[in-house]
Amino acid sequence: MLKILFIGDIVGQIGRKTVAKILPELKKKEKIDLVIANAENSAHGTGVTEKTIKELRKAGVDWLTSGDHAFDQIKQLAVYDQEPILRPANWAKNVPGRGYTLIEMKKGKALLINLIGRVFMSKNFACPFVKLEEILANFNLLSQKISAIIIDIHAEATSEKISLLHFADGRVSAVLGTHTHIMTADARITAQGTAYITDVGMVGASEECLGIAKEGVIKTFLTQIKQPHVIPKKGPVIFNAVLLTINPRTGQANKIEPIIRTVNYN
């Protein structure tokens, strides 16, 4: 069996620090074959940098995905062509990087696909359903001997994520939602062997607002004037992930286990 760990949105330095603290032991205990994490908030809550990527790689993350904040660090765009990180496949065609990749593991190959939703999102993205169909059609899955297909659907609307599950059901190993930073209670395996969760959650400050200091967020709601996002350096942090068990011969998921850990930095 293949064991693949997918870590929810990593928020800022305190999130990266927590991944480095928890992941090595978890990886060893569960004998994990592949670690994937959404890193689009890893550079102080907005985008990624070469430094944050290398820090997460050192902690034991193999591949990274992203979302609507993928290109917020405008001086760091080259990382999408140089580092093991994806940007959403249905972004504009002329942006750096790639939206999917084939990952070699000891027990087989995993196709990792990064998509972004369109409902309630600020940018005008291409259709994730059409893009997924295009990717799957262009891949000769049998000749490539792919053991697992993992989708990160970075989206706001639960209906869009669930619809993508039904669209891809039985054709992929897992459809995993990111973006809202709150782990949902609907992790399951469909009758056709696709693992699903609406949102994996986050690795970030747990007593704030989605990993951001709550005072500024509340003031933004009260005044409608956007306040700076401040990420705490101390306090309780939550680590959210899901552990997938996949049959490499069939590509079907046998188990999806939500992982929740907490750390407190005084």
Active site residues: 69
Nearest to 265 by CA among 234, 238, 229, 223: 234
The number of helices, as runs of H, and strands, as runs of E, in the chain is 7, 13
Sign for the CA dihedral angle at 140, 144, 149, 151 comes to negative
Q: Is 172 left (phi over 0), alpha (psi -120 to 50) or beta?
A: beta
Distance from the Cα of residue 103 to its chain's centroid: 16
Q: Give the DSSP letter of residue 83.
A: S
DSSP per position, 183-222? --S--EE-TTS-EEES---EEEETTSBTTB-HHHHHHHHH
Half-sphere exposure of 232 (CA within 13 A, CB side): 23
CA distance 169 to 261: 29
Q: Would you state the structure tokens that stand for residue 126, as one six-digit string? A: 């291409």
Q: Do 258 and 189 meet the contact criterion of CB atoms below 8 Å apart?
A: no
